[in-house]
Homo-oligomer: A and B are copies of this chain.
Amino acid sequence: MTKVGIFGSGQLARMMALAVRPFGIEVICAGNKNDCASDVATVVEVDMSCEKSINNFLDKVDYATFETENIETEHLLNKENIYPPVSVLHIGQNRLNEKKYFNGNNMVTAPYKAVNSLQDLQNAVSEIGIPCILKTCCGGYDGKGQFVLKDSSYIEDAWNELGDQGQLILEGFVDFDYEVSLIGVRARDGQKLFYPLTENVHIDGILHTSTVPSKAQNLQIQTEEYMGNFLDKLNYVGVMTIEFFVKTNKNGIAERIIANEMAPRVHNSGHWTIDGATSSQFENHIRAVAGLPLGDVSYNKSVMVNCIGSMPDLQKTLKLPNIKYHSYQKEPRSKRKVGHINLVGEQTISQNLDKILGIIK
């Protein structure tokens, strides 16, 4: 029986386990026994700062992967059978590296400057202009570790808030019309498949809805080329996600893309694939990691709605036909992602999306 290890035991690990349990694959997570993956996978505690502890874990599994880029990698480098390559984590773990990497691969990004002091910040604001956004280079997600500078009077406040949080980056605001993400998967033999560009709406920095197909379908081939080159160059194995800003022309046609972030893993904007694609991002990630043939990525029109803080009432939600309810069985908490709802097919979306948004509010 194939055994796959996952560093992390949250909802992404949970959904990977649910996806491949039917393959007879055993899933063992290095994480916290109270986390939500423990319902459907074995969870063991691993000390990421201890090589022996990590080796013990890796000895238990045939292949390993991760559900988050925010892990200590010191003792993971140079280990075999970890996919994607651990070195890739360093790109996404640091916003500055990530931007440099994008630029080095012909992808346009927002203007940015490294910030290591208040003086740096003042200079960077003069150069990039207002409004702009100060971010920690490492950590920080869902709007955390960020400070928006609406005018230059915010400079000191921004520095006071984030100045002690390690390396910082100041990014210019990008004038864009909407955001999309591309989710692709690469197998060990180099085969690559891509899901359609997904259109994402954020509220307060947290993903609210993802919709396929996006209005930017005309950019599918271009973005696949960007990611495809990137994947091949890195000898990547598994699912990767890149978020792009889209600028439209005066006729509303998507014209220009600006690379925002990459994630070397399954991604919230791909949760619609559980019900909307023949093989989900979770299934395909583990297929790639375990050296199995990739699964078909053909899709139906889909919308995913995130459930933030708490899940909507199950009884009420399931009354709506064809609703796909995904609870991560996490304790409710403000701003916490606790689940999502998928709607698949034109009719289901047109009849139920407004109702779901009303229930979730």
A358 contacts partner chain B, Cβ-Cβ < 8 Å: no
- How distant is the Cα of A295 from the Cα of B321 in the complex, in angstroms? 7
Whether A293 pairs with B278 at a CB distance below 8 angstroms is no
A contact residues, range? 20 to 34
Contact string, A6-43, partner B, CB cutoff 8 A, digits 1/0?
00000000000010011110100000000000011000
- How distant is the Cα of A40 from the Cα of B22 in the complex, in angstroms? 11
Interface residues of A in 254-303 (CB under 8 A from B): 278, 287, 291-293, 295-296
Chain B minimum-CB-distance residue to A328: B24
Least Cβ distance of A360 to chain B in Å? 15
For A322, the chain B residues whose CB sits under 8 A away are 278, 296
A327 contacts partner chain B, Cβ-Cβ < 8 Å: yes
For A311, the chain B residues whose CB sits under 8 A away are 24
A1 contacts partner chain B, Cβ-Cβ < 8 Å: yes
Least Cβ distance of A203 to chain B in Å? 23
For A328, the chain B residues whose CB sits under 8 A away are 24
Known: A23-B327, A339-B24. A292 touches B314 (CB 8 A): yes
Whether A329 pairs with B24 at a CB distance below 8 angstroms is yes
- How distant is the Cα of A295 from the Cα of B318 in the complex, in angstroms? 8
Whether A40 pairs with B23 at a CB distance below 8 angstroms is no
Whether A22 pairs with B315 at a CB distance below 8 angstroms is no
A70 contacts partner chain B, Cβ-Cβ < 8 Å: no
Chain B minimum-CB-distance residue to A2: B314
**Residue with the greatest number of chain B CB neighbours at <10 A, chosen from A22, A287, A325, A339:** A22
- How distant is the Cα of A278 from the Cα of B324 in the complex, in angstroms? 10
Select which of B22, B327, B339 is within 8 A of A327 by beta carbon. B22
For A318, the chain B residues whose CB sits under 8 A away are 23, 287, 292-293, 295
For A296, the chain B residues whose CB sits under 8 A away are 321-322
Contact string, A67-101, partner B, CB cutoff 8 A, digits 1/0?
00000000000000000000000000000000000
A113 contacts partner chain B, Cβ-Cβ < 8 Å: no
Whether A1 pairs with B329 at a CB distance below 8 angstroms is yes
A326 contacts partner chain B, Cβ-Cβ < 8 Å: yes
Closest 3 CB pairs of A and B: A24-B327, A22-B326, A293-B319
Ordered by A's residue number, 16 sampled pairs between the chains whose C-beta atoms are within 8 Å are A18-B18, A18-B21, A18-B40, A21-B40, A22-B326, A22-B327, A23-B325, A24-B311, A24-B325, A24-B327, A24-B329, A26-B329, A278-B322, A292-B314, A293-B319, A295-B318
What is the interface of chain A, defined by CB distance below 8 A to chain B?
1-2, 18, 21-24, 26, 39-40, 278, 287, 291-293, 295-296, 311, 314-315, 318-319, 321-322, 324-329, 339
